[in-house]
Amino acid sequence: MNYKSIEKKDYLSQYEVTLDKNAIENIISEKITEKQETFEVSGFRKGKVPATIIKSKIGPQIENEVLNEQISKNITDITDKEKIVSLIQPQVDFKDNFNFKVSFYHKPKIDIEGMKSTEIKSYNVDIKKSDIDDFREKIRKEYYTLDEENKVTAESVVDFEISNYSDELKAIFSQKQVRIDLTTDTKEEIFNQIKKLLIGCEIKNNVKTEINKLNIEIEIIKTYKKIYPKTDEDLVKVLKIKDIDELNTQINKKLSDDTEFMKKDFYIEEILKTFLEKQDIKIHDEVINIELKRNYSVDTSSIKEEDKERTESLKKILTDNIRKDVIYSELVSFFKVAVDQKELQEYLKTYYGEKIDQKTAEMGYATLLRNKIADESLKTFKIKETKLSLDDFMKLRTIEQQGHNHDHNHDHGHKK
């Protein structure tokens, strides 16, 4: 790799990079040769396809892969050698395939040590017997058995079969036999139309209707009423738990775990909010403009008058989010917290089971990291603790979530 510095500012470092063309071409040739053993083309035996033909078929794809790998490797090497801590993903501008300019935007430094005496709001949530009782009542309304009845009511669960099931009807129903719970509260027009049609009908009745200009014939197979556990003893039997004490213990643990999770989440948000108020974290306009273009396809060099308000709103959202990211990453560095692979795997297995996708793994990692930051912060910063009932705490969380949703919806609306 050959690179040279072309500009340095307090918030920016730029370098011109020249890739080794011969070395890259050799890598491309090696990869094409590796493909020869398994490559198949009509007219040639497997493993006997000439390299020139393989190159004509997949050469551009391999070249792109190798170039991307080398560009990424070179950027990482520069970051390491120049000891650069990037605020955002570096900006790369190509002159040609082997020559480009890379711009690093430096992460601002903040004083975590100087914040130790600043009060951070935290909550002590008191879980009472009444909270456990209320939760048990919620469980009672979710677990039930089904008892067959002869006539459909507004409270029924109905099994029916679509007699004239066809390819056209697959757009509405995924299968011929359907079960619906008529107590479901929805504005879905199709569901409500069928519900209205079924109420009052007896089993084995055949009913006809039209949905989305399609005729549909329904045969009612069975209809059930829900039987809810009337007593704690009934509930314990449905849940297959030893006794009510065990159920209450499980409820208490769930409420405690969920509350602890929310407390830590809330506490991290309080840290970020407090630091934003106390620390002057400057984000250069150039950084915001780049992120506007990357995330929202907004080019600030050509904004129409009617889009100015929208752009300013997006700028504020981006600036706040980047500043929060600066604080969060600095907390990770300050406390030297990390999540190892074994710890992550145990957490995922406990809470998500065996089948884990990439998104779930990332969420698990983020949760563990956040919890560690919260734990260390609670031992480090000055805490201003407020005692709340579970009900008041949940109301507080609802208000906070509505605030986040408002920001998200406002942001989303501008993307249209």
CATH code, domain with 88: 3.30.70.1050
Average pLDDT, integer, range 49-73: 87
Chain segment 317-365, per-residue pLDDT in tens? 999 999 999 999 999 999 999 999 999 999 998 888 877 889 999 999 9
Note whether 294 and 395 are same-domain residues. Answer: yes
**Tokens 């990770």, located at residue:** 332
Domain-located, residue 112: no
Q: Residue 136: name the closest of 254, 225, 242 by CA.
A: 254
Chain segment 128-149, per-residue pLDDT in tens? 999 999 999 999 888 888 999 9
* pLDDT (0 to 100) of residue 213: 81
Instruction: State pTM to two decimals.
Output: 0.71
Note whether 216 and 245 are same-domain residues. Answer: no
Last residue of a domain, one of 174, 205, 227: 227
Domain-located, residue 302: yes
Instruction: Dig out the tokens for 281 from the structure.
Output: 């974290």
Statement: residue 1 has pLDDT above 80: no
Chain-centroid distance of CA 179 in Å reads 31
Statement: residue 413 has pLDDT above 50: no
Q: Are 148 and 220 in contact (CB under 8 A)?
A: no
Statement: residue 403 has pLDDT above 60: no
Statement: residue 38 has pLDDT above 90: no
Number of domains in the chain: 3
Domain-located, residue 124: no
* pLDDT (0 to 100) of residue 326: 94
Statement: residue 217 has pLDDT above 80: yes
**pLDDT > 90: what percent of the chain?**
57
| Element spanning 408, H or E | helix 390-414
Give me the DSSP letters along 306-345.
GGHHHHHHHHHHHHHHHHHHHHHHHHHHHHT----HHHHH
Domain-located, residue 283: yes
Note whether 260 and 209 are same-domain residues. Answer: no
Q: Which domain holds residue 6?
A: 2-105
Region of poorest pLDDT, from 9-13, 36-40, 173-177, 300-304: 36-40
Note whether 10 and 90 are same-domain residues. Answer: yes
Rounded CA separation 48/61 (Å):
21
* pLDDT (0 to 100) of residue 401: 59
Note whether 377 and 324 are same-domain residues. Answer: yes
Region of poorest pLDDT, from 41-45, 174-178, 287-291, 345-349: 41-45
Query: Which distant-in-sequence residues (6+ apart) come within 8 Å of 276 by Cβ?
Result: 320, 323, 324, 327
Sign (positive/negative) of CA torsion 276, 280, 281, 283? Answer: positive
For helices 308-335 and 285-296, what crossing angle results, to 10°? 110
Domain-located, residue 359: yes
Q: Are 190 and 240 in contact (CB under 8 A)?
A: no
Statement: residue 87 has pLDDT above 50: yes
**pLDDT > 70: what percent of the chain?**
95
* pLDDT (0 to 100) of residue 414: 34
Domain-located, residue 236: no
**Tokens 């890379």, located at residue:** 102
Last residue of a domain, one of 227, 250, 278: 227
Note whether 100 and 195 are same-domain residues. Answer: no
* pLDDT (0 to 100) of residue 399: 66
Q: Residue 90: name the closest of 100, 179, 242, 404 by CA.
A: 100
Last residue of a domain, one of 227, 261, 278: 227
Domain-located, residue 131: no
Confidence of residue 94 (pLDDT cuts 50, 70, 90): very high
Rounded CA separation 325/308 (Å):
26
Chain segment 100-129, per-residue pLDDT in tens? 999 999 999 888 998 888 899 999 999 999
Average pLDDT, integer, range 157-162: 94
Note whether 278 and 358 are same-domain residues. Answer: yes
Statement: residue 398 has pLDDT above 80: no
The DSSP bridge pattern shows strands 119-126 and 157-162 to be unpaired
Cross-strand partners of 291: none
Confidence of residue 283 (pLDDT cuts 50, 70, 90): very high
Q: Among 96-100, 209-213, 300-304, which range has the highest average pLDDT?
A: 96-100
Full strand arrangement of the beta sheet holding 12-18: 2-8, 12-18, 99-105, 91-96
- The CATH number covering residue 205 comes to 3.10.50.30
**Tokens 């907390």, located at residue:** 331
Give me the DSSP letters along 140-195.
HHH--EEEEESB--TT-EEEEEETT--TGGGGT-SSSEEEEETT-----HHHHHHH
- The CATH number covering residue 254 comes to 1.10.3120
Note whether 312 and 264 are same-domain residues. Answer: yes
Q: Which long-range contacts (CB under 8 A, 24 or more apart) does 337-340 make?
A: 337/369, 337/372, 337/373, 337/376, 338/369, 339/365, 339/368, 339/369, 339/372
Rounded CA separation 51/57 (Å):
10
Rounded CA separation 106/90 (Å):
10
Note whether 254 and 344 are same-domain residues. Answer: yes
3-class secondary-structure state, position 48: coil
Note whether 92 and 32 are same-domain residues. Answer: yes
Note whether 292 and 379 are same-domain residues. Answer: yes
Residue 218 class from Cβ within 10 Å (0-12 exposed, 13-18 middle, 19+ buried)? buried
* pLDDT (0 to 100) of residue 203: 87
Neighbours of 60 (CB within 10 A): 10
Note whether 208 and 292 are same-domain residues. Answer: no
Rounded CA separation 192/195 (Å):
5
Report how far apart, in Å, the C-alpha atoms of 212 and of each of 160, 178, 198, 293 are: 19, 18, 18, 41
* pLDDT (0 to 100) of residue 416: 30
Domain-located, residue 233: no
Q: Are 391 and 121 in contact (CB under 8 A)?
A: no
Region of poorest pLDDT, from 14-23, 42-51, 163-172, 343-352: 42-51
Chain segment 218-252, per-residue pLDDT in tens? 999 999 999 999 888 888 988 889 999 999 999 99
